Amino acid sequence: SWDSAPTDQLNMFAGKKGYFYSRQNFMTADGEEHVIKMRKELTVSGWALDAATGQAITEFKAVPGAERLELAHGTNGQYSVTFHEFNPPLEVTIEADGYEPLMSEPFSGKTNQAVWNAQLKKLDPNQAIAGTIVFPDGTPAVGARVGLCTQRSGVTVGRGKFINYEESETKSVGNKGQFLFAPDPTASVVVAVHARGYASVD
């Protein structure tokens, strides 16, 4: 109850643990009682496996929809992610170094538990987004981090480093300055950051 609500239309948010966030609830203080219907949030769990061997993938990321802030780090093949926002399609993407990313079929918002086991194929280097990061003198930029900007995610740079890079698609370069990302038709920019400098390329 809000006894001093303004007379203009209000956009109300409702949140409760175990339920999807409820947004865009437009209400006017007209003396009537308003109802916000909430639905239980969705948790998806399962395994990430090598498609060729059937073996569990040791380390990987599980991303619920486009919410990289909510990604989970899977270990020893197992993962669990929860959708807090009801923004269909509700899809999970599994990402692992050396493998092509794999996206699930959309899950129904009518259930609050689902299981999906992902079988990832090894990344074909000939189809990858790859390159080498070097300093102006041509030597490998060992210790640099490189990020890939796509439709799903970008990177934020501040004070000579990536900020919140765990939520973005970034990685450290190899000992020869080399990097490798899975193919992504929506990729737009590669960004590299090192204490000695910054660079980006379309």
What pLDDT is recorded for position 160? Answer: 80
Asked if pLDDT for residue 69 goes beyond 90, the answer is no
Rounded Cα–Cα distance for residues 161 and 106 (Å): 35
How do 10-14 and 22-27 pair as beta strands? Answer: antiparallel
Rounded Cα–Cα distance for residues 133 and 155 (Å): 17
Asked if pLDDT for residue 31 goes beyond 80, the answer is yes
Nearest CA among 162, 150, 196, 159 for reference residue 177: 196
Mean pLDDT across the stretch 88-99? 92
| Mean pLDDT (the chain, rounded) | 91
What pLDDT is recorded for position 126? Answer: 83
User: What tens digit of pLDDT does each residue of 135-156 get?
Assistant: 999 999 999 999 999 887 888 8
What pLDDT is recorded for position 167? Answer: 59
pTM (2 d.p.): 0.72
What pLDDT is recorded for position 59? Answer: 93
User: What tens digit of pLDDT does each residue of 157-188 get?
Assistant: 888 888 865 556 788 898 899 998 888 888 99
What pLDDT is recorded for position 166? Answer: 58
Close Cβ partners of 35 (under 8 Å, ≥ 6 residues apart): none
Q: Sheet holding 189-194: strands in order across?
A: 170-172, 145-149, 189-194, 197-201
Rounded Cα–Cα distance for residues 119 and 160 (Å): 37
Asked if pLDDT for residue 127 goes beyond 90, the answer is no
More confident residue, 141 or 123: 141
Residue given tokens 């966030």 in the structure block = 21
